[in-house]
């Protein structure tokens, strides 16, 4: 394990003014995104869509790295260049999603366990040869009246830690993603309690598995009320409770925390990130958004080559606003830029 290289990659991924684009939708997830714009989920459409995103002007200015799916890391863009090379040329680091999705947990079927450790060492070796310098594994934690259970939190934490240790063995920076879903009707206080417990269990397991904290990134949810909760919190309260939660649970040896957007609107996710970056923090606080970076561009693209330029402008504008949010300089009135784009 080359700790210096791991640290260097992790720090580059959370460099000031930049963040990560999660473009690692599985075939099932991209199907849902394409259904929303009524285009077929074919390999050519997936290539054209990712090409549109990755070749937008100034891509590397605000996108430090991109999480790819297995198909995409092996695919060539429309100009015939392999996608990892397209990214590297723009100054963005290629990454790879390595989990194999979730299954219902035996004995507690409302909860999920992530799969994908089988053959992971060999896959990591192959992905590194294809250019990957970081990876992602997502655990899913569901809030309900009697869940999450401690066995679910512990099992997911152990899987995240084993994955992270295997990545570091191959000099690949692990993004450790324990996502507490925001789909329910729970209050923000309940999300705070569950997220805090999830992160405690996660860092306990990372310690047990000797994961080098300086060579990893954490990808958590924000502390936020469930989407169906009648009492939605103010952006200021989301920022305050999220930071409180991390101060209690995330060691300052971790170089960066990169949020998922989890179903927040693009504007909401940017605003929350900016509020949290208003003062000094022990870690870099950045983004690793999927939907919150892509949704506006996806809609404008609609699967039509003639819309590529417009979609790319929207993508670049949203990436720039998130870049500003890295230093607390975003303001909601800047949303007007996207209307003009």
| Choice between 206 and 224, CB closer to ligand 13P | 224
Residue numbers at the binding site for ligand 13P (CB under 6 A)? 22, 138, 177, 260-262, 289-292
| Choice between 225 and 292, CB closer to ligand 13P | 292
Of the candidates 25, 111, 177, 296, the residue annotated as catalytic is 177
Asked about 337 being catalytic, the answer comes back as no
Burial label, 45 (beta-carbon count in 10 A; 0-12, 13-18, 19+): middle
Q: How far is CA 258 from the centre of its chain?
A: 7
Least distance from ligand 13P to the Cβ atom of residue 76, Å: 23
Residue with smallest beta-carbon separation from ligand 13P: 290
Least distance from ligand 13P to the Cβ atom of residue 295, Å: 9
| Choice between 60 and 262, CB closer to ligand 13P | 262
Q: Which residues pair with 63 in a beta bridge?
A: 19
Least distance from ligand 13P to the Cβ atom of residue 263, Å: 7
| Choice between 51 and 177, CB closer to ligand 13P | 177
Give the DSSP H or E segment for 49: helix 43-54
Residue 249 structure tokens: 């649970």
Q: What is the DSSP letter of 145?
A: S
For residue 87, the number of C-alpha atoms closer than 13 Å in the C-beta half-sphere is 29
Phi, psi of 111, rounded to the nearest 5 degrees: -105, 160
Question: Are residues 290 and 260 in contact, defined by beta-carbon separation less than 8 angstroms?
Answer: yes
Least distance from ligand 13P to the Cβ atom of residue 4, Å: 27
Q: Which residues pair with 140 in a beta bridge?
A: 179
Asked about 177 being catalytic, the answer comes back as yes
Of the candidates 97, 136, 219, 313, the residue annotated as catalytic is 219
Would you please indicate which residues are annotated as catalytic (active-site) residues? 177, 219
């Amino acid at each position: 394990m080359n700790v210096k290289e791991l640290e260097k990659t992790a720090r580059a991924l959370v460099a000031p003014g930049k963040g990560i684009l999660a473009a690692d939708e599985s075939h099932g997830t991209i199907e849902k995104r394409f259904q929303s714009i009524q285009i077929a989920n074919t390999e050519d459409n997936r290539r054209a869509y990712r090409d549109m995103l990755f070749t937008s002007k100034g891509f590397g200015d605000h996108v430090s790295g991109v999480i790819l799916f297995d198909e995409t890391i092996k695919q060539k863009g429309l100009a015939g260049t392999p996608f990892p090379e397209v990214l590297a040329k723009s100054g963005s680091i290629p990454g790879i999603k390595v989990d194999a999705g979730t299954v219902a947990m035996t004995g507690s079927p409302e909860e999920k366990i992530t799969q994908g450790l089988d053959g992971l060492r060999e896959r990591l070796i192959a992905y590194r040869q294809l250019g990957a310098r970081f990876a992602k594994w997502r655990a899913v934690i569901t809030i309900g009246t009697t869940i999450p259970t401690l066995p679910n939190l512990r099992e997911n934490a152990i899987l995240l830690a084993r994955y992270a240790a295997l990545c570091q063995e191959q000099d690949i920076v692990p993004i450790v993603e324990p996502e507490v879903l925001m789909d329910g009707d729970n209050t923000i206080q309940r999300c705070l309690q569950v997220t805090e417990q999830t992160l405690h269990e996660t860092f306990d397991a990372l310690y047990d598995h000797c994961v080098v904290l300086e060579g990893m990134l954490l990808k958590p949810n924000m502390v936020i009320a469930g989407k169906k909760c009648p009492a939605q919190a103010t952006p200021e309260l989301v920022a305050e409770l999220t930071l409180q939660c991390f101060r209690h649970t995330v060691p300052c040896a971790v170089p960066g925390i990169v949020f998922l957007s989890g179903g927040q609107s693009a504007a909401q996710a940017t605003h929350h990130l900016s509020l949290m970056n208003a003062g000094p923090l022990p870690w870099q606080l950045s983004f690793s958004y999927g939907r919150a970076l892509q949704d506006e561009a996806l809609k404008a693209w609609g699967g039509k080559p003639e819309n590529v330029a417009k979609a790319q402008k929207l993508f670049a504008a949203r990436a720039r606003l998130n870049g500003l949010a890295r230093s607390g300089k975003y303001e909601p009135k800047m949303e007007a830029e996207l209307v003009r784009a």
